[in-house]
Amino acid sequence: MSEKKFNVAVIGCGNIATSHLKGLAAKPECVLYAVCDNANDDRLERRKNDYGAKIAVKDYKELLGDPNIDFVIITVPDNSHMEIACAFMRDGKDVLLEKPMALTLPECEEMLRVEKETGKRLMVGQVVRYNNNFVNAKKLVDEGAIGELAFVESEYAHDYSVARGYNDWRVSPEREGMIGGGCHAVDFLRWVAGDPIEVHAFSNHKYLLDWPVNDTTIAIYKFPNGVIGKVFCGIGVKRNYTMRTCLYGTKGTIVFDSRNPDIQLFQDNGEPKSYVTPTIVPSEPVSHNMTGEISDFVDAMIEGRPNPIAAIEGARTVAVCRATVESAATGETVKIVYPEV
């Protein structure tokens, strides 16, 4: 264990902050220094008491200039990510930011600019990269267990009717489900198959009828090396939250989801395919593994290695999601334009 202690401020004390606060408590090198939330209820005091923060403030600006803070974790609604992340980087603090990096590409680009200018760390917590099922599936692909990829698909299936956010922040015309939630599936497919080149998508609106955005999207992508892919994003679906995923390769297929243990690995053994029995690859998924994410972020700082997930990754994922929304809205196939660092 390192001797170095990191004083951490958590900005936003809502639902997902719970996983971050637990992750901090599990990391011996981290001390919860400050919590911040501007809600009109007692959540700030509760978080301070439950997790033993030294200070609690309603306005994040009160923390700017505080030399005790080593890094901040930002878990506020998506439309405030840019303002708060840039303010802390300009204040000389490293930042671990919730996904999606932002709702628009100009906001992502501004954050990349500020990261470069200030030389601070900015990592977007694309937390699927810390779920063992996704990690192990990618490892199998990289080891060649299914040959060359041909078709990749993933999904984000959730019911937002019970997840509107504090003061209904998710119920907003800017907060497309594809960007806020579909980003998980897109990020995984980018991680495993590279940056898609173009997208064609369709959306409809059948579930969340009092919401100002479509709730169901299907998108198909052209990836590099002739790989093709698909993402389904449903934010009103009547089932438990999951991300079913299939990776089809020339020598095998990997099937798993985000919550059930184990991965099915089908491999070509020369027998008729209908008789192939999958190998069960043991894997214990941890959905929302902020403990792993925080630990990796902190270890990278201790060891002086780059961020485990570069900020540009968050921006590239937003670029794909935005292009998907545009395709569904226009009915056109959209070439994906990626931000430059």
Ligand X SMILES: NC(=O)c1ccc[n+]([C@@H]2O[C@H](COP(=O)([O-])OP(=O)(O)OC[C@H]3O[C@@H](n4cnc5c(N)ncnc54)[C@H](O)[C@@H]3O)[C@@H](O)[C@H]2O)c1
Q: Which of 27, 99, 129, 322 binds ligand X (CB under 6 A)?
A: 99
Distance of closest approach, residue 125 Cβ to ligand X, in angstroms: 6
Distance of closest approach, residue 151 Cβ to ligand X, in angstroms: 25
Q: Looking at 69-77, 103-111, 133-141, 296-304, which segment touches ligand X (CB under 6 A)? A: 69-77
Q: Looking at 12-20, 249-257, 262-270, 278-286, which segment touches ligand X (CB under 6 A)? A: 12-20
Select 97 or 263, whichever has its Cβ closest to ligand X: 97
Distance of closest approach, residue 75 Cβ to ligand X, in angstroms: 5
39 binds ligand X (CB under 6 A): yes
Q: Which of 8, 16, 73, 86 binds ligand X (CB under 6 A)?
A: 16
Angle at which helices 17-25 and 43-51 pack, to 10 degrees?
20
- What are 321's two structure tokens? 């999601």
In the region spanning residues 165 to 194, those forming contacts with ligand X, defined by CB under 6 A, are: 165-166, 169, 180
Residue whose Cβ sits closest to ligand X: 14
98 binds ligand X (CB under 6 A): yes
Q: Which of 6, 8, 9, 12 binds ligand X (CB under 6 A)?
A: 12
Select 123 or 265, whichever has its Cβ closest to ligand X: 123
Select 16 or 321, whichever has its Cβ closest to ligand X: 16
In the region spanning residues 219 to 258, those forming contacts with ligand X, defined by CB under 6 A, are: none
37 binds ligand X (CB under 6 A): yes
Under 8 Å between Cβ of 102 and 318: yes
Instruction: Give the distance from CA 114 to its chain's centroid.
Output: 21
Under 8 Å between Cβ of 329 and 129: no
Per residue, what are the HEC states of the chain? CCCCCEEEEEECCCCCHHHHHHHHHCCCCEEEEEEECCCCCCHHHHHHHHHCCCEEECCHHHHCCCCCCCEEEECCCHHHHHHHHHHHHHCCCEEEEECCCCCCHHHHHHHHHHHHHHCCCEEEECHHHHCHHHHHHHHHHHCCCCCCEEEEEEEEECEHHHCCCHHHCCCCCCCCHHHHCHHHHHHHHHHHHCCCCEEEEEEECCCCCCCCCCCEEEEEEECHHHCEEEEEEECECCCCCECCEEEEECCEEEEECCCCCCEEEEECCCCCHHHCCCEEECCCCCCCCHHHHHHHHHHHHHHCCCCCCCHHHHHHHHHHHHHHHHHHHHCCCEECCCCCC
Distance of closest approach, residue 6 Cβ to ligand X, in angstroms: 21
Q: Which of 27, 48, 129, 288 binds ligand X (CB under 6 A)?
A: 288
Instruction: Choose among 183, 178, 170: nearest CA to 203.
Output: 178
147 binds ligand X (CB under 6 A): no
Q: Which of 60, 156, 221, 223 binds ligand X (CB under 6 A)?
A: 60
Distance of closest approach, residue 214 Cβ to ligand X, in angstroms: 18
Select 201 or 243, whichever has its Cβ closest to ligand X: 243
308 binds ligand X (CB under 6 A): no
Distance of closest approach, residue 314 Cβ to ligand X, in angstroms: 11
217 binds ligand X (CB under 6 A): no
127 binds ligand X (CB under 6 A): yes
Please report, as ranges, the residues that interact with ligand X according to CB under 6 A: 11-17, 36-39, 43, 60, 75-78, 80, 98-99, 125, 127, 165-166, 169, 180, 288
